[in-house]
Structure 1
Amino acid sequence: MEGSSTPYIDTPYGLLTEGGRWYHVTEKDVEEYAGTVLDHVPLGQLLRWADTWIDSARTVVVWVLPLMLWGLSVEWAVGGAFVLFTAWASLSPALPSLLAVRAVSMLDHVLAQALYYVLAMSAVAAAETYGALGAGLLGFVLLRWGVLEWAIGHVVRPLRQSLYPLPVADQVLRGLIVRVALKHRLSLPQVDDITKNILDNLDSHQETDTDAS
């Protein structure tokens, strides 16, 4: 790890971010196959964006849930939040737009979310819709603690595996690299080799885990 500001550790099996997420590609691989991209966006920033986008379903639902509770019945709002979370978590790895990633990064601040919920739930309480108030407060806690993500993961993981050729973290990182290249009109003739290296590193990591157990 190059300095305390770099949010990852480079290992023989891939990159481990400070949030505990594995990317099955090494720093050397990225520099070899997408070095021109790193001239515009450092690898540490790409990984921050990728981590943020992978968790974006939580962020989006945190901000949308109070609006649903204000305009819909509690049952419809909660059901809509579940559907939105599942759909976003399943489909978003294919759509890591740079603009959207920056927007989600701003919306992911805990203090901004907490202030938003104080204001939103105060309005709900003033309207004396206490069922919506309870659902909003409980929803915020479940979303921020990752409980909803864990519960819905049993549905989302098989969907992701059927939709994408790579593990979701690698899928998002690869997508961001491609989008930075498109933005700056860079050529990435070896982009398919990144995919091959990811799969090779994933296989090596899995074999090592099997031998260790």
Structure 2
Amino acid sequence: MSRKAGKFEWNMVELPDGITTSNGNWYHTTSEEIQRYIPGLLKKHDLEKIVKNADYWVSSCNGMSLILYLVLVLLSLNPFLSGVICLTFFLFWYYNTSAFVTPVLNSVARLFHFDGFLYVATAASLIYLSMQGNESATWVGLALFFMFKVGLLKMLLSWISVKTNKNKAPRQDRILNMLLVRYGIKEGLYSGNIQNMQDSLFKTINYHKTRNKNK
């Protein structure tokens, strides 16, 4: 992770066993393996750009859930019911993000990851709610903002997934895998059956996970 003049700068480092990013995500694959399963993709799309977009999708559950809450309370829905809907949506999106990943919507995922957008939207909404005397909506909104911004719920679910789904590919790997597959489809670069490509990528992920445990 690097900071320049107080500004966060995203970066990634490719290691023999995978790719790590400044957002704290670890992807169990390498450029060599991506090139092997989707030949020619990295000539059309920079690896750093692909991984950065994967990071946006990984964190999108926080921003999308927060904005959903703000929209609901601004539409005068009960703040506690809005909070329940928001958390329910978070769980749904957290566990199903990979099903919706597509290069076409990378800019949308990036928007919900962008701090400037989230800060302005949250501040403006909570100030308005406070001025309207809706203290419950304001306090619930502040609590959700803190929880999503710090990533407390996401960290809890990640910990639970590690403990209960040891043989399942991590969420970030499933997201990157689907993004790679859909980039391949978009560029007409995938070879053979799509399911075989996904299976090959997951085998690589599981190989690295097993290798790391045996070290």
TM-score w.r.t. length of structure 1:
0.84
Q: Distance in 1 between matches of 2:168 and 2:205?
A: 11
Which of 140, 144, 148 is the equivalent residue of 1:139? 144
Identify if the C-alpha distance between structure 1 residues 28 and 151 changes in structure 2 by more than 3 Å, giving closer, same or farther: closer
Identify if the C-alpha distance between structure 1 residues 74 and 152 changes in structure 2 by more than 3 Å, giving closer, same or farther: farther
Q: Is the 8 A contact 2:39 2:190 kept in 1?
A: no
Task: Tell whether 2:12 aligns with 1:8.
Answer: yes
Task: Return the offset for 1:196.
Answer: 2.0
Which of 56, 60, 65 is the equivalent residue of 1:56? 60
Q: Distance in 1 between matches of 2:69 and 2:170?
A: 28
2:127 alignment counterpart: 122
Unaligned runs of 5+ in 1: 209-213
Deviation string 1:34-81 (CA, Å, 9 cap, x unpaired) is 231112211111111111111111010121111122331122011111
Q: Distance in 1 between matches of 2:55 and 2:83?
A: 26
- The aligned amino acid for 1:204 is R
2:50 alignment counterpart: 46
Unaligned runs of 5+ in 2: 1-8
Task: Return the offset for 1:88.
Answer: 0.6
2:4 alignment counterpart: none
Q: Percent identity?
A: 18
Alignment of 1:75-94 (within 5 A): 75-94=80-99
Task: Tell whether 2:85 aligns with 1:106.
Answer: no
1:169 alignment counterpart: 172
Deviation string 1:171-193 (CA, Å, 9 cap, x unpaired) is 11111111111112223347243
TM-score w.r.t. length of structure 2:
0.83
SS of residue matched to 2:23: coil
Task: Return the offset for 1:145.
Answer: 0.9
Higher RCO (C-alpha 8 Å, min separation 6): 1
Q: Is the 8 A contact 2:181 2:190 kept in 1?
A: no
Which of 189, 197, 210 is the equivalent residue of 1:203? 210
- The aligned amino acid for 1:187 is Y
Q: Is the 8 A contact 2:12 2:19 kept in 1?
A: yes
Task: Return the offset for 1:111.
Answer: 1.6
Q: Is the 8 A contact 2:63 2:113 kept in 1?
A: yes
Q: Is the 8 A contact 1:69 1:136 kept in 2?
A: no
Identify if the C-alpha distance between structure 1 residues 33 and 39 changes in structure 2 by more than 3 Å, giving closer, same or farther: same
